A and B are shown apart, each in its own frame.
Chain A
Amino acid sequence: MSGALLGLLLLALTSAGLIWWSVRDRSAYVTNYASDLRQFRPNGRKWMALVGLLTMISIPVGSSWIGYKGFHLPNGFLPGTPFNDRWLLVACIAGVYAIAAMGLNMLIGNAGQISLGHAAFVSVGAFALGFFGRSIATNSERGLLHAGNGFHGLLVLAFSAILGGLVAAAIGPFALRLRGNYLAIVSFALVFVAQHLVKNWNGMTGGEGNPRTLPALDFTLLPGKTVTLRDSSGSTNFFDTFFSSNSSGNATDKPGYFWTIWIVVAVMALFARNLLRSRHGRAMMAVRDRDLSAEVIGVRQMYTKTWAFAISGAYGAVAGCLYGSLFDHVNESTFNLAFSIAFVTMIVIGGVGTVPGSIVGALFYVFTQEFLLYFQDGLQQNLPFIQSDPAKSGLTIDRFTLLLFGFLLIVFLIRYPEGLMGMWRKIKRYAMTWPLP
């Protein structure tokens, strides 16, 4: 126990030191073009990446270790729930949301096109998984037209990205003619169309009240060893061969999910960051700042806006694919307007127009929500005004969460329009000029 605590303490100290060192580092100022193009600016970013990687490793390892030890939080205010792989699943969900939020952030923050219809693109991904993924017997029994077409997980991800991109690109013509308020209206009309399709396209989605079972993403490479992104039917995950917790009692964690999803997050984030530095990214930002001026200097509006929507849709669809693979059932109420608004809340809190902002926002959103849910029982026991029946009046945890995020949305928009990333930038500036003011 004490050894592990010492390890955690060392990790925290090392991370803090590395962060301090990296923000104090002034070699970020570039002097020539080649160094400007580098993926990791000398020293600073490299150490930040290392800290990120260490954190990534420590989460599943620590989680499985805690689960293995059967570590219980003290009774009383916190109910005696085993601290097991719940947080690993939460981290997975945060990763999925981060991917979708990155797509939306590029669209809203970098291309300046307001969209409240992101849930529609996410639903496209989920049902693309149903169409392309490995089949499940019960689907064909229930008379579904497309009971999975048996593609490999990576191919399914690619196909769903393409499909989501195509669907989103259909908004392009609208985006060319409309801006601001009108575009917001059109994009949320999309959510209703998508919900109607989910309810009524029985062959694809299973129909209302009878959602189809989505297949899991199947990453099997070698025959004989099934590797899927879901804890079902004794399949083992590829990464679990490296990070398996010998599960005894409560510990049934699957760090493999975490790795699979967060590797996808890392790849998508890297792609987004480099896209924003490319010709297309700069074109998007030119259109955002003033589309008429952009057109005058030779940026094709139609092309740029359509691409912005397509990329955002592709990100949303990939997230939907992973989401559908984690939870085997999705229905029309999963992808409602509130789902779209949740993504916008994430990017506003994280930081509009920045790639890390989407990830930070998604982590903040999901973990805040899940912490509140986790402490639900304890809060209900100790605070009399918190109750559990949603039909009755009174504050439930769900309502409290919604109120909190509505409040945070307004506060961030008024006081911190650059989000958490803006705060981080301020801290960094302070550290860089320290001890000078």
Chain B
Amino acid sequence: MLRELCRCATRARLTGGGREPPMESPEMKYPLGREQLLDLYYFMKLTRQLDEQLARLFRQNKVVGGLYSSTGQEATAVGTAYALEPQDWIAPMIRNAGSLLVRGYRPRDIFMQFMARSGSPTAGKDGTYHFGDTQGRHVVSPISMLGDLIPVMTGVAMGGHYLGQKLVTMTWIGDGGTSTGAFHEGMNLAAVQHAPFVCVVENNQWAYSTPVARQVPIRDLADRARAYGIASYIVDGNDVAAVYQTTKEAVERARRGEGPVLIEAKTMRMKGHAQHDPAEYVPPEMFKYWKARDPIARYEAWLKQNKVWDAKQKAEIDSRIERELKEDLEFAEKSPLPSPDQAERGVYCEGCHTIEARWERPAEQVQPPRAGAKAAWTVTDFGGLDPAAPASTKGPGEARPEPAKASVGDEAVAPDRTRRAPPSPAASKRSPKRRGRGPSRPKGRK
């Protein structure tokens, strides 16, 4: 019988480097069987090998446009998406190849996207990871502007909830993307609507060439959740089991109707912003530090240490990946470029789609006479300074903890900064206080 293990957020000290962080092994809250543990490896390794194959294609001038790498962030992409159910929805960003693979897309789809072939999911209309499928895989295509997926996935969650679906929606955003207005508007709306939405902040330390400390004056981006009154977690984004466990808990929470959750995954972008970018602005020691925490190498060692597999089984999975990538690349290269006349097709939907809502509750519930409501607010908090008022509205004389100071400056990238230890998922969970503020979401259904 397999030992059920959970490496909750590892107590990685961000000083030094070179040595792998120690592993912890309490019982898993959400146990994973052997097949699932090997699945996690398969998807991470497939992502890495796909990245490398794409880089080769880029050097052969077969990639049209830019190439964005997921390398270093495989555990976050795979571990989060793996915690979802088929009815759930995702919207990937450009470093979530692993999430798309978990969701059922194949390497050939990604090859064809990057090579702008007619067989690609967008038939050549768009490239990179800009594709989706609202029907089967429940994937919403990203756009290049950051932050806009947050309100959109909030809307998917609101819509699904309205239809009676027990769904959760998820998207990812980088450390840099959390500075956009769309991020704030979307998170705030999700919070007031109690949307079943999980936002994964992939803190990969770099927003193109700018270090995170130049982007935000806080060390933990999870702190942003406090402003929205929602729960948040911090997790070691290079620890796939911890990412899975944390996400599973967050997802179940959102599914139970406890509102949106923000997860900050601490990780590192191990390549430049895109293939053209050698990332010379990243201190070599920082790459070294994170290379020692490579999510795949760590997981391989962990699988071996815990006797989940042996060398033969690893070799089998690796050769399966190699074979699949080879077959898919051959398939993709056979796909022709789109014919030019397709350029002017498809701007509008003129009967090409049938739009149907998937009701999982009786629609009569939202129709008169059952649906009506009294047109009045229920206001219980009058917003004064008395002790019953929320802390955030308390007066200037109130002692409030100083926000954590994060260093800003040229030394900002030095990893040794005052910080609290990254807690385990359970410990880092922040439970927001809920207050009745009128009917932002109807309680129950009639």
Q: Are chains A and B native binding partners rather than an unrelated pairing? A: no
